[in-house]
Structure 1
Amino acid sequence: MGAFAFATVGALLFAGCASSAPQEDAESGPVTLTITANAITGGKNAAEADWITDWVIPQFEDAMKDDGKDVTVEFEPQGVDDENYKTKVALDLQSGEGADVIGMDGIWVGEFAEAGYIKPLSEVAGDAVDDWDGWDQIPEAVQAALSFDDERYGVPQGADGRVLYYNKDLFEQAGLPADWQPESWDDVLDAARDLKKLDGVTPIQLNAGTAMGEATTMQGLLPLLVGTGEQVYEDDKWVGDTDGLKDVLDLYKTIYVDEGLGDAVLQQEAAGRDTSFQLFAANQIGILLEGDYFWRSVINPAEGVGTAPMANRDEVVGYTKIPAMKPGSGINDQDFVSMSGGTGRVLNPNSDHPELAWELLAFMNSQEAYQERNATTISITPRNDVNDAILAEDPMLTYVSEEVLPITAYRPPLAAYPQVSTALQQASLDVVSGMSVDDALSAYVDSVKDIVGDDAVAGG
C-alpha cells in the first residue's frame, strides 16, 4: 500500500508539470542527451554498461554528426539494488528531472504510467515512433513487456521464456525417453516418480517459498497458474480462492509433502536456488523449471560464463515446453505455457529534446546495435531479424525464440503486483512446510484482500 500511495501522490504532483505534446528539438546548437540504466562497468550488468559507453555513444554521436547535428550523449551508470534504482528513477521523474532514455523493468511500467511518470512513446516523441520500422521485427507478445493498456511505453531490450530442463543421463537410467515432452502435469509427476528410484537424485525442483523471492513466482507459481487457464490478474481482479490456484497449491503438496518428489528443505534456504543450480549441474536433480537464463548464464560451459558450468551441457541437458495442467487447459486454450519477463527502455516525458531522444532509443534497438551487443554473449533479443542470425548456433535459445515466446504470458505491470507476488510465495511456503492447502489458500486470500481490497480479489 505504501508503494501505491507513493505512486498516487506522485501522479498528483506530476500532473501539474507534465507536457502534453512533444517539444521541438533545437534546429541548431549543441544538444546533450543522457542515458541511465542499472548497469555499471566492472559491476552490475557490466556488459550493458560497456556496450553503451564503448559502442552506442560514439556510434550515435558520429551518426548525428553525419546528419549535421551536434549531439553529445552522456551515460549515467547505476549499480545498485533494483528497488533502490526504481526509487531513484521515480523521484527523478516526479520532480521533472532524470535522463532522456531510462532503463526500466517491464513490471514497473504500469505503476509508473498510472502515476503519470511516463507516457506512451508516441505521445512523447510524435509520429516517428509509430513509423519506426523496428516494430515489424518485434513480435507483439514481446512488445507487451513494455506496454500498458495497449499503448507502447517503451522498447523491450530482451526476451526470455521458461521451460522444463531435464537430465538425459538420469532419464536414461530411469527408463525415460531422451526426447521427453510431457503433455500434462500428470506426465511430469510420472517422470518424477520414475526418477525417485535413482539413489541420490531429487526428481524435481519447483521453486517455492519466500527465500527464493520472485524466482518462486516466475519459475513456479505463475507458469503453473496459467496452465490452469487463470492469470494472476485478469478482468480487474487479482487471483484469490480460485480452482486454478488451489490446483497449483495441490501440486506443490503432491511434490513436496505427499510423495517427496522434491526437497522441501531446499525451498527454505537462503541460497536454495543457487544450491539447486549446483545440484542440477552435479546430476543430482532430474527436472528443473527455469528460464533460458539457466542455459546461457548458469550451466554454460564457456570459460568464465557459467556459475555452475556443465562441460557436457549440450549432450546431457534436455529442455521442453511446460505443459498445461491437461491438454487445452492453459490460457487461450493452450496445451503448453510459459512466463516471460524482461527489461527495456522508456523516454522521459520531461526531455527537452524528445525527438532526438527517440532517435537515440531507436538506434539502441537497431539491428546493428543488437548484433554488437551480442558479439560476446548470446541472448535472445526482441528482434526477429537479429535472432535469426545470432541464435542459429544455439538450438536452445532458438527453441525459446520460436516455440516458447509465441505462447508466453507476462506479469501485470501494476503497483500491487510485488506484494501479491510475496503473498503467493508465502502460500507456497506454507504448503511445502506442511500447512493444508485450504489453510494456506485462506491465509493468502486474507493477505491479498489487505493489499488490494475485498472487491479486487477473484474467487470465493
Structure 2
Amino acid sequence: MKPARTLVLLTATALSLAACGSGGSSAPGETTLTITANAISGGKNSATADWTKNWLIPEFEKAQKAKGKIVHVLFQPNGVDDEQYKTKIALDLKSGAGADVIDLDGIWVGEFAQAGYVKPLAETAGAQVDQWEGWSQIPEAVQGLGIFEGKKYGLPQGTDGRVLYYNKTLFTKAGLPADWQPTSWQDILDAGAALKKAGVPTPLQINAGTAMGEATTMQGVLPLLAGTGLGVYDGGKWTGAAQGLKDVLGFYRQIYGGGLGDPRLQQEAQGRDKSFEQFAEGKIGVLAEGDYFWRSVIEPKAGVAPMERRDAEVGYALIPAKQPGAGVRGQDFVSMSGGAVRVLNPRSPNAALAWELLAFMHSAQATEQGLAGEARITSRTDVNDKVLSSDPMLGFVAQKVLPITAYRPGLAVYPQVSVALQEATADIVSGKSVDEAAAAYQKKLEGLVGGAANIAQ
C-alpha cells in the first residue's frame, strides 16, 4: 500500500517549521491546554473559530475553576488549504509537538493512525474515555467516523447523509406515489422506466464518471456498493472486481445504457452543477445526493438552484440495498457520510485533562452552541432532536440515515482508489461492458495497493 504523500515527504527543513510545544508553560498549580483547527475568525470556518474563542474556552475554564483547577486554554487558528493544514498537523505530531486537541478530517484518521501520529483515545487518556456519557448519544454508525480498525481515535463532529431526492410533480405525472420509498434497486429502475414513459427528460441521475469527482464515489458507487453488503475496504483488504462491484457497474449500465440517465451530463466539466439546475427546473426525476443539496442547493431563498416550492415538490427517500437485507450489516437501506473529528495528541503532557476538554467540546450544550442558531446535523442525537425539529428533511437524515450510514476508509491511498472507481463508471457510461470495466478497475487497484494479496475478490 502506498503511504500518504503528505505524511511521507516530511523533510528536515519542514520539520523545523513545525509548531513547538502545546502553547507555553504554566504557573505553578496551573495548566495550559491548546486546541488547533483549520479555522480562523473572519476567514475559513470563521464560525468554528469564534465559537472556540468566545464560548468554548471561557466556559471550560469556568467549569474547571468550579472544580478548583486553574486551566488556561489557548486556540491556535489556521486558515489554509486542507492539504496544507494536514501537512502542518502531521509535521507537528511527527516532531512530538502540536496542540493537545486537534481537528482532523475523518478521512485522515486511518492514515494518521498507521503513521503512529494518533493513538486510540482510551490509550491516550485512560478509562474515563469509555465512561463518557456522549457515546450513548452518538449512533454506532456515526462513531465509525472516528474509528479505525475497531478502535476509537476521535470524536465525530457534524456529519451528513446521502438520500434519493425525487420530484413529486413528475412522480404524479408518471403515476408514481408521492411518498415513494424504493426497497430495491429494481424499484428505482422501475420508477425510472415510468418517468421515461411519462416524458421526463432525465428519469434518473446517479453521478458517474471522473468529471463529477468524489461526488461520483460518495453519491453513487459507495452507497451502491454498501447495498451489496460490501465496503470499499473491509477486513484489511480492498474490494476488487468482486460480484458486488460488478452488480454496481451493472446497475449503472442499466441506467446509462438503457436510456434512464443522461450519459453526456456525466462527462461534462460542470455536469454536477447542471444536474442541480435541471432538477430544480423539473427535468430530472430522481437524483442521489447528500443533505447539502437540500439545505444549500435547492433552498428556496439562498440556494444555488433555488426551488420556491421545495418543501411541497421535493420528496426524499432512503437508498435501498440491492434487495432487502443485502446491505452492509444486513441492512435494508444504506448511506454514506463524511465529516470531521477531534483527536487527542498522544504526547500531550496533560492527556487526562485534554480528554476533559475534548469531552466538553462534544457535550450537548457545547454542540448546540457551536451551531450558532443554524439547523445543521450534528453527531449527537439529543441535539439533533432539539435543533432539527423545524426541518423535516434534516430530521429525517438525523433519525433515519445516520444510524445506517457508513464512512470512507481513512487511508492514504483512498483518493486514488476513488478515482479508479470513477473511471470504472466512466467506462460504463462510454459503452464498455461490466466485465471490461471491472477488469480495468482490478488492474488499477492492484497497482495502487501493492498487488492482489491486498485485494478481496
SS at match of 1:181: coil
Give the C-alpha shift of residue 88 in structure 1.
1.8
1:457 is aligned with what amino acid?
A: I
* Pairwise CA RMSD: 2.2
* Aligned-partner Cα distance in 1 for 2:201–2:55: 46
Structure 2 residue 304 is the aligned partner of structure 1 residue 307: yes
Q: Which residue of 1 aligns with 2:452?
A: 454
Displacement of 1:9 in angstroms is 9.0
Counterpart CA distance in 2 for 1:437 and 1:200 is 27
Aligned pairs for 1:238-249 (under 5 A) are 238-249=238-249
Q: Which runs of 5+ in 1 are unaligned?
A: 11-24
Following the alignment from structure 1 to structure 2, what is the Cα–Cα distance between the partners of residues 99 and 309? Answer: 41
Identity %: 62
Count of paired positions: 442
Deviations 1:180-206 (A, max 9, x none): 011111111111122224556321111
What one-letter code is carried by the residue in structure 2 that aligns with 1:396?
M
Pair 1:70–1:374, CA change in 2 (3 A): same
Q: Map of 1:268-279 to 2, 5 A cutoff?
A: 268-279=267-278
1:329–1:136 distance in 2 versus 1, CA, 3 Å: closer
Amino acid at match of 2:442: V
User: How many Å separate the matches in 2 of 1:265 and 1:40?
Assistant: 40
SS at match of 1:445: helix
Q: Give yes or no for contact 2:170–2:200 (8 Å, CA) kept in 1.
A: no
Counterpart Cα distance in 1 of 2:215 and 2:54: 32
Hey, what's the Cα distance between the residues in 2 that align with 1:41 and 1:193? 50
Q: Separation in 1 of the partners of 2:108 and 2:220?
A: 21
Contact 1:26 1:353 in 2 (8 A): no
C-alpha distance in 1 between matches for 2:355 and 2:51: 19
Superimposed CA distance per residue, residues 37-69 of structure 1 (whole angstroms, 9 cap, x where no aligned partner): 222333333332222232212222333333343
Task: Give the alignment of 1:259-338 within 5 angstroms.
Answer: 259-301=258-300, 303-304=301-302, 306-338=303-335
> How many Å separate the matches in 2 of 1:80 and 1:177?
47
Aligned match of 1:100: 100
Counterpart-to-counterpart distance in 1, 2:37 and 2:404: 29
In 2, Cα distance between equivalents of 1:3 and 1:44: 28
1:438 and 2:441 matched:
no
Which range moved further: 40-49 or 282-291?
Answer: 40-49
- Of 450-459 and 267-276, the range deviating more from structure 2: 267-276
Show the counterpart of 2:140: 140
Q: Which residue does the alignment assign to 2:196?
A: 196
Q: Deviations over 1:150-204 (max 9, x none)?
A: 2211111123221111111111122211010111111111111222245563211
Q: 1:125 to 1:27 in 2, by over 3 A?
A: farther
| 2:398 is aligned with 1:363 | no
* Structure 1 equivalent of residue 345 of structure 2: 348
Letter in 2 for 1:297: S
What does residue 14 of structure 1 align with? Answer: none
Structure 1 residues 271 and 437: alpha-carbon distance in aligned structure 2, compared to 1, 3 A threshold? same
Amino acid of the structure 1 residue aligned with 2:305? A
Contact kept, 8 Å, 2:144 with 2:406, in 1: the verdict is no
* Separation in structure 2 between the aligned mates of residue 146 and residue 89 of structure 1, nearest angstrom: 17
Aligned residues of 1:100 and 1:348 also touching (Cα < 8 A):
yes
Structure 2: tracts of 5 or more residues without a match: 11-24
Q: Which among 417, 423, 426 is matched to residue 420 of structure 1?
A: 417
Does the aligned pair in 1 maintain the 2:35–2:74 contact within 8 Å? yes
Whole-angstrom distance in 2 between the partners of 1:351 and 1:138: 26
Q: Give the match for residue 51 of structure 1.
A: 51
The answer (yes or no) to whether the contact 1:230–1:244 under 8 Å persists in 2 is yes
SS at match of 2:41: coil
CA contact (8 A) 2:35 2:101 kept: yes
The 1:141–1:421 alpha-carbon spacing in structure 2 relative to 1, beyond 3 Å, is: same
Shift of 1:419: 1.8
TM-score (norm. length: structure 2): 0.90
Q: Deviations over 1:205-252 (max 9, x none)?
A: 111122222211110001111111222122332111211111111111
1:6 positional shift: 6.6
328 and 273 in structure 1: CA distance in 2 versus 1, 3 angstrom threshold:
same
Distance change >3 Å, CA 225–CA 66, structure 1 → 2: same
Q: Give 1:106 deviation, angstroms.
A: 1.5
Contact map agreement 1:201 1:283 (CA 8 A) in 2: no
Contact 1:28 1:69 (8 Å CA) reproduced: no
Say if 1:8 and 1:115, in contact at 8 Å, map to a contact too.
Answer: no
**Structure 1 CA distance for aligned equivalents of residues 35 and 199 of structure 2:** 53
- In 2, Cα distance between the equivalents of 1:345 and 1:407? 22
TM-score using structure 1 length: 0.90
Q: CA deviation at 1:330?
A: 1.7
